[in-house]
Amino acid sequence: MTKLSVNINKVAVIRNSRGGNLPDVLLAAQRIESFGAEGITVHPRPDGRHIRYDDVRNLKELVKTELNIEGNPIDSFTDLVLEVVPAQVTLVPDAADAITSNAGWDTVKHRDFLREKIAQFKQKGIRVSVFVDPVPEMVRGAKECGADRVELYTEAYARDYHSSREEAIRPYVAAAEEARKVGLGLNAGHDLNLDNLAYFVERIPWTDEVSIGHALISDALYYGLEKTVSLYLDCLK
C-alpha cells in the first residue's frame, strides 16, 4: 500500500502566528504517527516562517516512522540534512520567497548541481527523492543524477481533476511508468486531497509514498486529526 507521510508545516504556521508553543509541533507529529501515518514530512525555509531548523532537529529524536525533509539544497539546508540524517530528503527547487512549491527540477539543466548534492546525501545513507514535473525526460534526468526516487508535482493533476480526471492523470501515468522503467521509486505530492487521492493511486498503484499537508491539516479542522488521518489512509487502500 502507498504510504502516507503527513507534512506538518501548517501546524507550525499556526504556532508561529501567535508565538509560544501552541499548537505543539512535536506533539502533533507524535499523534499523527499514532493514528497510523507512516511518515512525517517537513519543509523548512530560510526565513523560518513555519517549520524551523530546530524543529527538524527535535523531530529527528521523536519520529518513529520516517522523517522526510523537503527543501531547496542551499548550503544551510544541506548542512541541516547532513546533521539530522533523515530517512529521506526531497530536493525541491523553490525560491526563498515562494509561498509554496510551484515547479519541479529541470534535471537536465541542473544535472551537475543535483549530482553533487545527491552524492553528499547518499554518502550519509539518506534516500534522495527529486521533485519533478510529470515529464518522462525529467524523470530520466533524475535517474542520471543518482536519485533513488522522484516525487511527482501533482498541482496540475489536482487543478484539472474535476474537469477531466482521465486527462489530468495521463501525464502522471506516463511519468510514473518511466520511473518504474528506469528503476526509480515513486512519490507524489502537492494539492492531493480526499477528493482526488484515491483515483491517483488507483491509476498509479506502484506509488511508494504521498506527502500531504495543507489539505490534511485543513480537513482536521472539520473532522479532527485522528479521523482525518484515517480518511486519508482509507483512500490509499
Residues annotated catalytic, as ranges: 43, 70, 190
- 108 close to 138: Cβ distance less than 8 angstroms: yes
Q: In sequence order, what are the residues at sequence separation of 6 or more whose Cβ sits closer than 8 angstroms to the Cβ of residue 181?
A: none
**3-class DSSP string for the chain:** CCEEEEECHHHHHHHHHHCCCCCCHHHHHHHHHHCCCCEEEECCCCCCCCCCHHHHHHHHHHCCCCEEEEECCCHHHHHHHHHHCCCEEEECCCCCCCCCCCCCCCCCCCHHHHHHHHHHHHHCCCEEEEEECCCHHHHHHHHHHCCCEEEEECHHHHHHCCCCHHHHHHHHHHHHHHHHHHCCEEEEECCCCCCCHHHHHHHCCCCCEEEECHHHHHHHHHHCHHHHHHHHHHHCC
Single-letter code of the amino acid located at 151: E
| Residues forming a β-bridge with 153 | 189
